[in-house]
Amino acid sequence: MISALTIAAVTAVLKSRIENWLIQHVAAGSVGADIAVTALPPDRIATGADERPQLNLFLYALTPNTAMRRPAGAADRPSVAAYASFDLHYLVTAYGAADLQIEILLGYAIHALQQAPAFGRAAIRATLDALADTAGGHALPPAYALLNQSGLADQLDQITVTPQFLTLEEQSRIWSALQARYRPSTTYRVSTVTLERAVEQP
C-alpha cells in the first residue's frame, strides 16, 4: 500500500539530486562558500546582507492528474484500492549575498534537474535507502528515517520532472501569496504521485 510519506519522499529525492550534483561539480568553489540545500517555505529563509548561498526546493501546489484513474468498474469491486493521483509543483529558488552567487546557483539547480528528468525505481530506492542510512553513526530526523518505507520506489516505473515556464504575473502571485522577499526562481512539475487507500472487503 502507498504510504502517506510519498509526497515527502518525492521532495527528498529531488533535494538529494541537487545536493549530490553540487558535490560532484564542486559547486562550493564557484561561489566561495558552502551551499545549503533546503526544502523550506521561502518566508522562513533569512535574506539580506548576510544571506548565505542556498538553494531552496518548495512544494507550492498539488494538482490532480486526470491521466491516472481508477480501473473501469473499480467502484463495483470493494477489494480494489481507492487512490488519488497528483502532480507536484515545486519552486526552486537561489539565494546569495555576493555578486553572481544567485545566478550560479540557479544554473546548477537547473542543470541538476535537467540531467535527470526521470527517476526510475532503482534510483528512487537507492536515494531513499541512502537518506535513511545511519552507518556513519549520525542521528536522522524522524521523517528521514521513515522515508524508505514510503513505497515510492514500488509505486510507479518512474517519476518525471518537467520545467514549467510561468509568466511574470503568475510568479508575482506566488511570491505575493508566500509573503517572502523575491529571489530568482524556476518551477517544475513532478508527475505522478499516487496516494492509495486500501478498501476493505465487506
The per-residue DSSP string of 147-168 comes to: GGGS-HHHH-SEEEEEEE---H
pTM, two decimal places: 0.85
Whole-number percent of the chain with pLDDT over 90: 54
Per-residue pLDDT band at 97 (split at 50, 70, 90): very high
Average pLDDT over residues 44-70: 88
Arithmetic mean of pLDDT over the chain: 84
Ranked by mean pLDDT, the top range of 1-10, 48-57, 76-85 is: 48-57
Cβ-contact 124, 159 below 8 angstroms: yes
- In this structure, the strands spanning 82-95 and 54-64 are antiparallel
* pLDDT interval class at 78 (50, 70, 90): very low
How many residues are given for the chain?
A: 202
Q: Higher confidence at residue 119 or residue 197?
A: 119
157-to-42, 89, 124, 160, 163 alpha-carbon distances in Å: 32, 20, 10, 10, 20
Kindly state the greatest CA–CA separation across the chain.
65
User: How many angstroms from the chain centroid is the CA of residue 50?
Assistant: 26
Question: pLDDT tier at 195 (50, 70, 90 boundaries)?
Answer: low
CA distances from 59 to 41, 88, 106, 123 (A): 8, 7, 17, 21
- Please give the pLDDT value at position 25: 92
How does residue 6 score in pLDDT terms, banded at 50, 70 and 90? confident
Is the pLDDT reported for residue 31 higher than 70?
Answer: yes
- Cβ pair 184, 103 in contact under 8 A: yes
